[in-house]
Amino acid sequence: MTATQDVAVADQAAPEQRRQAMRVRKRDGDTEPVDVNKIVRAVERWVADLDEVDPLRVATRTISGLYDGASTAELDKLSIQTAAELIGEEPQYSRLAARLLAAYVDKEVRGQGVASFSQAIAYAHGLGLIGDATAAFVARNARKLDDAVDPDGDLRFEYFGLRTVTDRYLLRHPESRLVVETPQYWLLRVACGLSDTPGEAIGFYRLMSSLAYLPSSPTLFNSGTRHTQMSSCFLVDSPRDELDSIYERYHQVAKLSKFSGGIGISWSRVRGRGALIRGTNGRSNGIVPFLKTLDAGVAAVNQGGRRKGAACVYLEPWHPDIEEFLELRDNTGEESRRTHNLNLANWIPDEFMRRVEADEEWSLIDPSDAPELPDLFGEAFDEAYRAAEKKAVRRVRARDLYGRMMRTLAQTGNGWMTFKDAANRLSNQTGAPGNTIHLSNLCTEILEVNDDTETAVCNLGSINLAAHVTTSGVDWEKLRATVRTAVVFLDRVIDINYYPSAQAAASNPRWRPVGLGLMGLQDAFFTLRLPFDSAGARELSTRVQEEIFLTALETSAGLAERFGPHPAYAETRAAKGDLHPDLWGVTPAQTERWAALRSAVAAHGLRNSLLVAIAPTATIASIAGCYECIEPQVSNLFKRETMSGEFLQVNTYLVRELKARGLWTPAVREQIKRAEGSVQGITDLPADVRELFRTAWELPQRALIDLAAARAPFVDQSQSLNLFLAAPTIGKLSSMYLYAWKSGLKTTYYLRSRPATRIQQATVAPVISPVVAASDAAALACSLENPDSCEACQ
Amino acid sequence: MTTVPEPRTGERHMLLDPGMDLTLRPMRYPHFFDRFKDAIRNTWTVEEVDLHSDLPDLARLSPAERHLVSRLVAFFATGDTIVANNLVLNLYQHVNSPEGRLYLSRQLFEEAVHVQFYLNLLDTYVPDERERFEAFAAVENIPSIARKAEFCFKWIDSIFALRELRTREDRRAFLLNLICFAACIEGLFFYGAFAYVYFLRSRGVLHGLASGTNWVFRDESMHMAFAFDVVDTVRAEEPDLFDAEMERQVRDMLAEAVECEVQFAADLLEQGVSGLSLADMREYLQHVADRRLAVLGIAPMYGSRNPFAFMELQDVQELSNFFERRVSAYQVGVTGTVSFDDDF
């Protein structure tokens, strides 16, 4: 639609005299008439490089939504919203909306008398928001740091990202709730919180400001503040089988949750329903009532007002309460046995999967009868389990229990399948006897040893691969440079971090694990025109992962040379000369660099026991404006719901492709919308283009598993691997997860599926069905026998 | 009509023929049964909706927005009960198909869940007991809501006395009632209300209200689709019922419904809400009305466009981040048995 057409429509809705009568209230209280030209000029400031944006259109639409007597601040907000609403039609409006928002934020900060970065830090320090050390560091280096702020930094944001930053990441005045830092000040503040010299801070700031790398949310929230809890993940061992220990865990979980941590907690050591309690000679009510309490505790803790607490409970499938555990997220049944806030994961030994495959029986054993089971893996577990089967509470068909797990996945997306033996066998931390990984974390990408007195901790960050790829390929040197900076700053967090519990403080300095991840893999595939399930995609993803892991190890060996290996180094497999690819029996591609690394490790050890974990990156990918971690796109057109409201996202790679072919038309847009973001029905697009732009629902899931397995030798922790089935059945799921286990994956994450029916589309015109004449047998047969396809065309 | 098997009595009968048909096999209207099954897969419960973040949001709203919200929840407090009443009093007895009645039973359950949801919502939003009682009495106290209720009651009453649909006139009256509840009440009043909720959500507030409403909206879409399916079925069986006079009545009815909803909008937006002007709301309602006419094969009355980009968001897949809130996309009924060689 052209601008003039749109003005005509706006005029219909808001007659000319009405528009002239409209007035806005200025900040000083005076009113003035709304002036379309003034809004046009405000928009024009930002559109120099946005040739598809029509400032007049934004201005007229803004005025049409305005009411008489609105404030100028409302007018500004409305123009941002108006621009954002046009993103679905033309992705460039996303940049415009982001810039209007940046200008709005800038005005808000300056309105409080803040004109520079160092002033913002001093101001926020005075308000009690910034830590003393960071405030002093900034005051000492004010000029250098103020000069380092990139005035064009905000131009790189998409609207979705900047909106999230503004609503959730920027520090706010405790009373007025106005933001006290601009987006660039925020990133520089994060860098200063982790730096020893201004040069270091500026280098790290530039990397983040370019959106090539972002640390995880807790670091982005808290670095430089008075509460420097910057770790994302905590892995809490199961409470001991006694009341005091259980209540200690509630307390610990609450403290960890308060400071933005996501929590994994095992419950495998606690006795099941019906087990004897010697102290009172009563019978236990099992784990469900205790998990109900945990559920309420997690919901009660609000992570600094930013998001609700979140936790995932892990249980091994031999636990007698496993079936009730799998029902915890059902939406029917007794509410006192439902935990809507907890995520659930199965921590599965190979023995269980073998029995599923062989269709054998499976024994449920009470942990009070076999307390050693949670600490064993591999053959030692198999032996102990078989010996304990004599004391089984009950025996079930392994396949029935496996089928129940699949049903839970289909119905709730929860009940993640994670594999205990692969996790332990393929870990650097399990080199000494007695060190066991008991669970994964909230997002199934962290695998670290813990026990009753040590809570494993991990801080994360992710490389935006999209920022390291052009149509001619990956910029390997840039990628290596990013990894080096990232590892140094991830390692730095360990020393500066505030640990909310004594158990966490006991573990992290000993093992010094970090989790360097990856996002924007789908962007790289689009840029290089590689379909997600192609051999080329698999090679590239493996190659990238090897480069990241190898460079991370090199950097960690370098840190060990300067600062010494981490204290528990002697207990690791690396100390015996086994690096992660060796555990997989894989020969890496870059043999010479690996050889050099081996001698460096032999000489100096490693500063970090673990280096790579691929986290889901939900929020930071949106800030960086790329696709999440290693995931395929979910749709070419989708909305994202967050605490900051809803946003429409369009696949900009597709839009570029369609524009080049003259196909980015309202009709095609409507077609994509009607097909829920699929382009498979757009026959004007050549087959290879349609193949490239398939969605997660349209890809064979085997390919996702194959890609994950191929990169796994270069991921020493694990990957948050979501799987997608639009209409899951028990048969499909059981085949898929058996395949995932056989591929050697350590963990999987959500099963995503789609609702059985959907809301009638409100903005896509209905396809009018002709009135069926009674004599028209063919048409009648259609509506009687095939109601779904008739429904589908509405 | 070769695909419709002969009924048990040997006498061919039609959907609106009086009676209480009890036989599900052979099934005469399998599409009704499929809708019943689809609906079951979308089961949700009120406990799943998390209203925790709404309370601080309410405190942040401007007085104009708070006025909008309080009127809106007052409408919701009674809207679904009215629909449920009509279903029981007027629809169930006349749709003479056991599979159709299965769907209606399911719909009745869903309406009850909606009532419970909005009950829960009001109890949470309006802690003061006196204010709460006033909100529940909106049908009597608030003129803009009373006006809509009158419209509904008029159409409930129109066929309340009918025990059986013997004559052509009876059946036309029934169809008008059915169309009224599908096109005007669920299809326009509720769609209007949903627009306010989605407007608020697009501004980043009241997610609890929005996520519950999202599920209500999904159910209501199904109810409307079922009702239009019944209309189409009756129309195919008895084409002469739907004549020019009927078309005129439908248009008049929708025009009146649009006016009812516009006066409600004028009340809601009385104090000026930035981004939601009365002119745009009118345009939207007219656009929705035109779409209801289109489904019935009637030419549009208004030719209006949808002015609300935020409604476009409703048409697009959601991808919730589990940190943010619960995902509404999972299925309840899953079938099959364990096997290892299925395609995935």
Taking contacts as CB-CB distances below 8 angstroms, the residues of chain A near B206 are none
Q: If pLDDT is split at 50, 70 and 90, which confidence band does B12 have?
A: low
Is residue A502 over pLDDT 70?
yes
The A residues from 571 to 610 touching B (CB cutoff 8 Å) are none
Name the average pLDDT for chain B. Answer: 88
Q: Which helix (H) or strand (E) holds A264?
A: strand A262-266
Instruction: Dump pLDDT digits (tens) for A737-762.
Output: 999 999 999 999 999 987 665 555 65
State how far the Cα of A78 lies from the Cα of B195, in Å rounded to an integer.
17
Percent of chain B with pLDDT over 70: 90
Give every strand in the sheet of A70-71, ordered side by side: A31-33, A23-25, A70-71
Give B189→chain A minimum CA distance, Å.
14
State how far the Cα of B165 lies from the Cα of B179, in Å rounded to an integer.
16
Q: Are strands A469-470 and A473-474 parallel, antiparallel or unpaired?
A: antiparallel
| B161 CB burial (10 A radius; 0-12, 13-18, 19+) | exposed
Taking contacts as CB-CB distances below 8 angstroms, the residues of chain B near A787 are 30-31, 34-35, 229
Between A523 and A17, where is the model more confident? A523
Structure tokens at A552: 């991370």
Q: Tell me, what's the pLDDT at A283?
A: 93
Q: Tell me, what's the pLDDT at B51?
A: 87
| Mean pLDDT, residues A556-576 | 98
Give A753→chain B minimum CA distance, Å.
6
Is residue B53 over pLDDT 80?
no
- Nearest CB among B31, B277, B323 relative to A65 is that of B277
Q: Is B120 on the interface with A (CB under 8 A)?
A: no
| Mean pLDDT, residues B212-220 | 87
Q: Is B329 on the interface with A (CB under 8 A)?
A: yes
Give A427→chain B minimum CA distance, Å.
28
Q: Tell me, what's the pLDDT at A168?
A: 87
Q: If pLDDT is split at 50, 70 and 90, which confidence band does A766 have?
A: low
Q: Where are chain A's structural domains?
A: 22-103, 456-504+512-604, 633-727+737-758+776-789
Check B324 against A332: CB less than 8 A apart. Answer: no
- Nearest CB among B205, B218, B325 relative to A757 is that of B218
Query: What is the SS3 assignment for chain B?
Result: CCCCCCCCCCCCCCCCCCCCCCCCCCCCCHHHHHHHHHHHHCCCCHHHCCCCCHHHHHHHCCHHHHHHHHHHHHHHHHHHHHHHHHHHHHHCCCCCCHHHHHHHHHHHHHHHHHHHHHHHHHHHHCCCHHHHHHHHCHHHHCHHHHHHHHHHHHHHHHHHCCCCCCCHHHHHHHHHHHHHHHHHHHHHHHHHHHHHHHHHHHCCCCHHHHHHHHHHHHHHHHHHHHHHHHHHHHHHHCHHHCCHHHHHHHHHHHHHHHHHHHHHHHHHCCCCECCECHHHHHHHHHHHHHHHHHHCCCCCCCCCCCCCHHHHHHHCEECCCCCCCCCCCCCCCCCCCCCCCCCC
Least confident of A402-411, A529-538, B136-145: B136-145
The residues, ordered by sequence, that sit 6+ positions from A260 with a Cβ below 8 Å of its Cβ are: A217, A218, A221, A222, A229, A232, A303, A304, A306, A307
Q: Is A702 on the interface with B (CB under 8 A)?
A: yes
The B residues from 164 to 203 touching A (CB cutoff 8 Å) are 191, 201-203
| Mean pLDDT, residues A449-458 | 96
Is residue B323 over pLDDT 50?
no
Mutate to test the interface with B, among A759, A776, A794 (most CBs of B within 10 A): A759
The B residues from 38 to 77 touching A (CB cutoff 8 Å) are 38-39, 41-45, 47-48, 50, 52-53
Instruction: Dump pLDDT digits (tens) for A694-718.
Output: 999 999 999 999 999 999 999 999 9
Question: Count of CB atoms within 10 A of residue B96's CB?
Answer: 19
Q: Is A16 on the interface with B (CB under 8 A)?
A: no
Residue found under tokens 């048909």: B21
Q: If pLDDT is split at 50, 70 and 90, which confidence band does A89 have?
A: confident
Provide the CB-side half-sphere exposure for B254 (13 A, CA).
27
Is residue A184 over pLDDT 70?
yes
Q: At residue A286, what is the residue type?
A: G
| Mean pLDDT, residues B148-161 | 94
Q: Tell me, what's the pLDDT at A758?
A: 53
The residues, ordered by sequence, that sit 6+ positions from A793 with a Cβ below 8 Å of its Cβ are: A767, A769
Nearest to B317 by CA among A755, A526, A631: A755
Q: Tell me, what's the pLDDT at A9?
A: 42
Nearest to A148 by CA among A136, A163, A135, A138: A138
Is residue B99 over pLDDT 70?
yes
Q: Tell me, what's the pLDDT at B38?
A: 85
Q: Tell me, what's the pLDDT at B329?
A: 53
Look up residue A39 and give its DSSP letter: H
State how far the Cα of B79 lies from the Cα of B49, in Å rounded to an integer.
19
Structure tokens at B204: 């980043």
Active site residues of B: 118
Between A703 and A790, where is the model more confident? A703
Is residue B299 over pLDDT 70?
yes
Mutate to test the interface with B, among A341, A758, A769, A794 (most CBs of B within 10 A): A758
State the Cα torsion A340-A343-A349-A352 to the nearest 10°. 40
Look up residue A614 and give its DSSP letter: B
Provide the CB-side half-sphere exposure for B117 (13 A, CA).
26
Is residue B179 over pLDDT 50?
yes
Q: Which helix (H) or strand (E) holds A733?
A: helix A730-742
Mutate to test the interface with A, among B319, B337, B343 (most CBs of A within 10 A): B319
Q: Is B333 on the interface with A (CB under 8 A)?
A: yes
Nearest to A32 by CA among A21, A23, A41, A40: A23
Angle at A444 between CA A576 and CA A746, to 5 degrees: 50
Check B31 against A399: CB less than 8 A apart. Answer: no
Check A757 against B325: CB less than 8 A apart. Answer: no
Check B333 against A407: CB less than 8 A apart. Answer: no
Size of interface A-B (CB pairs under 8 A): 294
